[in-house]
Amino acid sequence: MRTINVAAPDVSLAWLAACEAMIGGPPVAYHTVVRIENPLGEDSAVRDGLERILAARQLQPVRTVANTIFPAAIAATSPDHLELSSRYAAVLPTLKRLSSKNDRGTYFGRMIAFPGAAGPVNQLDVIITRLRQEIAKKGSGTGSLTAAYEAAFIDPRSDGADTNLEAPVGAAAQVLVPGSDTRFPGFPCLSHCSFQLDRQGALHALAQYRSQRMVERAYGNYLGLGLLLSYIADRAGASCGVLTVTAGYAELEYLRDVSALITAVRARKAG
């Protein structure tokens, strides 16, 4: 089984390193790990080169993919996360009509209205509220849960008030709906996100994908997740930490195009 494990200072270099690690053999990898120190940082040469590849192949640009995870433009003009959720829910039907890729919804749509047993659950609100509570405890000197936020697959159908959990209270966002999301490949490839608050007050994120196309989707996924992490951290009163993205299966498409981009970027840096 071929796997990759890369770390880089920003989104662009992390994506480039992951792609480069998949060149030279079968363009697939399993259990991939990509760690991004600054999930908001980008290299314009890498981003522009990828955008040209996407445009030539008539694929969605990076920003469109990122927006399915976090709608940055709407967030920038919304006073809080509840207003953001409300405005996004209002435009989601239009987004579904405009693109067949959204016919089953979007990741951010699932985050703010997960189909729970008792009705839609706004996981964004649950996560931010929990983090604010824990940060407030720390500020008052009573102590708080920090790295205990690792709680993958936590049931988002609860209202966040259930304290009878075997694991410590965590902050996680589930996307996959067991029993109804059975189409493969297809939405949702992102299974869940979890967030961890460290003792220095930085919020980190871990995202798990069932599968990932490295050219068509990965860069936009990384960027969208980074924007989501930054937004949650800011609203909760934390600093933005490290983003880690794992995928059960990853595929590198358009090898010649990507190889040419890697060569060009390396040559520029060497010069």
Domains, the chain, with CATH or none: 5-270 (3.30.572)
Residue 270: the pLDDT is: 86
CB 245 within 8 A of CB 221: yes
Residue 141: the pLDDT is: 44
Which residues on adjacent β-strands are paired with residue 7?
35
Residue 142: the pLDDT is: 44
Residue 161: the pLDDT is: 37
Q: State pLDDT tens for residues 31-67.
A: 999 999 999 999 999 999 999 999 999 999 999 999 9
Residue 145: the pLDDT is: 59
Residue 115: the pLDDT is: 79
Q: State pLDDT tens for residues 173-211.
A: 554 444 444 444 455 688 889 999 988 899 999 999 989
50: enclosing H helix or E strand? helix 44-56
CA 88 – CA 82 distance, rounded (Å): 10
CA 219 – CA 50 distance, rounded (Å): 9
Residue 180: the pLDDT is: 46
What tokens does 245 get?
A: 């993205």
CA 229 – CA 234 distance, rounded (Å): 9
What tokens does 200 get?
A: 């220095």
At residue 154, the 3 state secondary structure works out as: coil
CA 149 – CA 198 distance, rounded (Å): 9
CB 193 within 8 A of CB 225: yes
Nearest to 75 by CA among 98, 26, 108: 108
Q: What are phi and psi of 174, to 5 degrees?
A: -95, 140
Q: What are phi and psi of 54, to 5 degrees?
A: -60, -45
CA 156 – CA 216 distance, rounded (Å): 29
pTM, two decimals, is: 0.85
Place of tokens 């871990």: 206
Which residues on adjacent β-strands are paired with residue 244?
35, 206
Residues of the chain with pLDDT under 50: 140-142, 147-170, 175-185
Residue 120: the pLDDT is: 85
The DSSP 8-state label assigned to residue 122 in this structure reads: -
Between helix 62-69 and helix 219-236 the angle, nearest 10°, is: 40
Residue 73: the pLDDT is: 97
Nearest to 121 by CA among 71, 174, 170, 164: 174
The DSSP 8-state label assigned to residue 77 in this structure reads: T
